[in-house]
Amino acid sequence: MNKKLRSNFPYGSSPWAVRRAQWKALGLSNEDLEKPKIAIVNTSSELAICFSHLDGIAAKLKTTIREAGAVPFEVRTAAPSDFITSAGRRGGYILSARDLIVNDIEVAVEGAQLDGMICLASCDKTVPGQLMAAARLDIPAIIAICGYQPSGEFEGKHVDIEDVFLMAGHVLAGKMTAEKLEGMADNAIGGPGVCSGMGTANSMHIACEALGMAMPGSAPVAANSDKMFTDIEAAGKRIVEMVADGQTPRDILTPDAFANAAMAVLGVSGSINCVKHLQAIAIEAECDIDVYALFDELSAEIPVLAAVRPNGEGTIEAFESAGGARTVMKRMEKYIRGGAITVTGKTVAENLAEITPGEDQVIRDADNPFSNRPPIVIVKGSLAEEGAIIKLGLLEDRVFEFTGPAHVFGLADDAMEAVRGGHIKEGEVVVLRGLGVKGGPGMSTASRVVFALDGAGLGDTCALVTDGQLSGLVNRGLVVGEVSPEAATGGALGLVEDGDIIAIDAISKSVELQVSKTELDARRARLKNEPLDEGKPGWLSIYRDTVQPLAKGAVLAKREF
């Protein structure tokens, strides 16, 4: 390779001498010192099954990179799991860990001036964190998709992690025994990888391929399968070529790329969490695009082509066999921005040119979709002036409009106790606030309250509005999430009182608080006299003081909004 590498310093200089001492001690040869240095960004962790296989992948990837003529350096980052890391501080460590990953990568890769990186993508916050870092550093980068977990069986029926998550709410409501839930939990997961439904992880893997930042045909894929290792090997070879070619993420992360990613997410009725993650990636890439407006615009025309659980009865295995993200993009080729560049060095159109989809039972043709109704709806109104999100999915018999009195909670635990005690009544709008990026801090999840309402038989007779986030796995009833501005920053959600009338309309895309401006101004004046909770010191206090609103992807910055 004749290209000058940023990892090499002038002969005899201090940086050259000290890194030579370090790397020779690690066993690198004189020849190695002249080769491209590639970071393998690994989020391995023994805390969750999502990440438990990544060390094995990293080991094989090192061999591939060496054989391709480069030197691999494995580096580690935080590894958040929604089902494990959410236990502390009301779940505030989940979304905030995304931005910790970004900075972890910057410290290791930019600090060492490595020449490229390949990121092992697993559970849902690792993928956007890795993409944000790639966009920020703008060195050759590939996201390697590391696969989904096998589901299980209990009492003769399919069971997976989303079933366990949902049915915990039914136990709270007394509709299922804890013993049965224990049996489901013990059998739900059959091996490593991310959740097997169309949750945030698989949705982001698909979005990553649609962006052009993963190898074509690599999402989704069964973890540790032959197909996964074939894709990993291809990515390992390609990252070395990208260093030689000088292709970087900002060549790829263009407005057309984000449009393709939004279309892919809509086309599979993916997780609403993809919206804020894609916005954050765009900001790190300095790509001037409003991803929320993009989803709002595209949702009117993009049909839903797949119905993977929990959207329907389709399985992720069948979706992969039908061609996954690549087939979805091929079937919506008339919408896709084919000129967008990908990590292959080719355009999306070139990558799709030789793809011939099979039967359209699992991934349907655009003229024969599962639904033409938008699966993700951006709503605005007096209760969410900057916007909020409703996940409609594919349920045709669900409630689309709801008006009722507010029942306000500041803690999810209090709302859960109210469900358990029968204190939430049919026709009410449950308001769960103080869960936003600053109020959490870190954006706590409201999903367990949603599932508790479902378990209590109130899923279709109550609505829920929150400034918290919602699981990408399951969403029941009419739920408005990620209300912005959030309560902690003066949003109208913080002014709602018990009994106030809230009107939600997913068809007209509105969420309104039916209280006069005069009354709201009076309430706001009273709140100004209340002392602010500064919270505990530590990572979450740093996050609270620097995080930007959802409209800016909840990225970190020094300036206040």
Average pLDDT over residues 184-192: 97
Residue 363's DSSP bridge partners are: 306
**In the chain, % of residues over pLDDT 70:** 96
What CATH number is given for 376-552 in this structure?
3.50.30.80
Task: With cut-offs at 50, 70 and 90, classify the pLDDT of residue 531.
Answer: low
Cβ pair 198, 271 in contact under 8 A: yes
Residue 370 binned pLDDT confidence (cut-offs 50, 70, 90): very high
Alpha-carbon gap, residue 322 to 331, rounded angstroms: 12
User: Are 402 and 343 in contact, with CB atoms under 8 Å apart?
Assistant: no
Query: Rounded to 10 degrees, what is the CA torsion of 59, 64, 68, 71?
Result: 0
Identify the pLDDT of residue 2: 52
Tell me the H-state helices in 138-271: 161-172, 178-187, 200-211, 226-245, 249-252, 255-267
Please give the mean pLDDT across all residues of the chain: 94
SS3 content of the chain, % helix, strand, coil (to 5): 40, 15, 45
pLDDT value of residue 537: 84
Q: What is the pLDDT of residue 561?
A: 37
Residue 379 has, within 13 A of its CA and on its CB side, a CA count of 34
pLDDT attached to residue 474: 61
Tens-place pLDDT, residues 460-500? 999 999 999 998 766 678 999 999 999 999 999 999 999 99
**Statement: residue 329 has pLDDT above 80:** yes
Q: How confident is the model at residue 135 (pLDDT cuts 50, 70, 90)?
A: very high
- Please determine, for residue 1, whether its predicted confidence score (pLDDT) is greater than 90: no
Greater confidence (360 vs 512) lies with 512
The answer, yes or no, to whether residue 273 has pLDDT greater than 60, is: yes
Give the bridge partners for 58, in sequence order: none
Tell me where in the chain the CATH 3.40.50.2300 domain(s) lie: 22-150+191-352
pLDDT in tens, 87-110: 999 889 999 999 999 999 999 999
- 532 pLDDT higher than 90: no
Q: Is the pLDDT of residue 393 over 90?
A: no
Judge whether residue 384 has pLDDT over 90.
yes
pLDDT given at position 154: 96
* Residue 201 confidence (pLDDT) above 80: yes
Instruction: Give phi and psi for 183, each to the nearest 5.
Output: -65, -40
471 noted as active-site residue: yes
pLDDT by residue (tens digit) across 150-175?
999 999 999 999 899 989 989 988 88
Architecture of domain 22-150+191-352: 3-Layer(aba) Sandwich (3.40)
Q: Which of 86, 122, 269, 471 is catalytic?
A: 471
pLDDT for residue 394: 83
For range 48-74, the mean pLDDT: 98
Mean pLDDT of 348-376: 94
Burial of 100-136, coded b for 16+ CB within 10 Å and e otherwise, reads bbbbbbeebbbeeebbbbbbbbbbbbbbbbbbbbbbb
Q: Would you state the structure tokens that stand for residue 291, as one six-digit string? A: 């991803």
Contact (CB, 8 A) for 404 and 424: no
Nearest 5°: the CA angle 267, 206, 36 is: 150
Q: Could you tell me how many helices (H) and strands (E) the chain has, helices first?
A: 20, 14
Q: What is the pLDDT of residue 471?
A: 84
Of 559 and 246, more confident: 246
Work out the angle at residue 61's Cα, subtended by the Cα atoms of residues 56 and 65, and round it to the nearest 5 degrees.
160
Q: Which residues pair with residue 37 across a beta bridge?
A: 71
Residue 77 buriedness (CB in 10 A; 0-12 / 13-18 / 19+): buried
Residues of the chain within CATH 3.50.30.80 domain(s) are 376-552
**What pLDDT, on a 0 to 100 scale, did the predictor assign at position 534?**
62
